[in-house]
Amino acid sequence: MPEMEIVGDIGLSSYGSEYPIPGSDYIDSPGNIAQSSDFSAAAGAVVAGGVLTVEAPIIVPLVITAALAMKIYSQKELLQKQTKETFNLLRKMAGPPGFTYMLVVNKSGNYQNVRGTQITLKAGDIWKYGETTSSERYNASEMRGMVPGGVTLIPLFYGSQLEIKIAEKGAIYSYFSLHGYLPPGNKVFR
């Protein structure tokens, strides 16, 4: 069985393992620390200290946990930016009631996003996240003309202006985290 040892900034290593933890330091021989960038199956664990021997049935959940931890760690600056902006919103007053929404495209096809890049979307794909304190954010004509085939507005969350701004920010940052870019209809993180 491979043994685990604490090495490097995030405390992940595999000693003598054929499957190093992706993106972690590992010891390929005594005293020789190497770096893994392979995202194939890994045998490893996140440990608080010492050495841990892992058994085969628990390898998969440990690998998934380690991969998620590394993904979050790699997006540290993005998470810090989101947290700072969210706390700035908390300083403001709650404001009037409203809702957070998403706009989804009605028809599959090629579209130009708000940054001028050509993209392909399927019917039901997200075009934009937004928030409003108005009972009707867009009229029917605006919904039909926003993109070829139009969009549908789907309310996601109801609350105070402060709450809906935080919910909108969370949706946009989550989308960016999953896709690596903003939703096609959002110009900025807001």
pLDDT for residue 1 is more than 80: no
How do residues 159-183 score in pLDDT, each as one tens digit? Answer: 988 889 999 999 999 999 999 999 9
**pLDDT classification of 33: cutoffs 50, 70, 90:** very low
Residue 108 vs residue 73, higher pLDDT? 108
At residue 53 the predicted structure's pLDDT band, cuts being 50, 70 and 90, is very low
Distance of CA 118 to the CA centre of its chain: 23
The Cα 41–Cα 46 span in angstroms is 15
Edge-to-edge, what's the strand order for the sheet holding 14-15? 32-35, 25-29, 14-15, 3-4, 52-53
**Could you tell me which of 99, 141, 103, 145 has the C-alpha nearest to residue 125?**
103
Q: Residue 27: pLDDT above 70?
A: no
pLDDT tens by residue, 114-150: 999 999 999 999 999 999 998 788 898 999 999 999 9
In the chain, the amino acid numbered 11 is G
pTM of the predicted structure, to 2 decimals: 0.52
Per the model's pLDDT, the better-predicted residue between 190 and 40 turns out to be 190
Q: Which pLDDT does position 51 carry in this prediction?
A: 43
Q: Give whole-number Cα distances, 171 to 7, 70, 168, 186, in Å.
A: 35, 21, 5, 11
Can you give the pLDDT at residue 69? 72
For the chain, domain boundaries? 3-74, 76-179
The size of the chain, in residues, is 190
Q: Which residue has the tokens 């996601």?
A: 156
Tokens describing residue 173: 């940052």
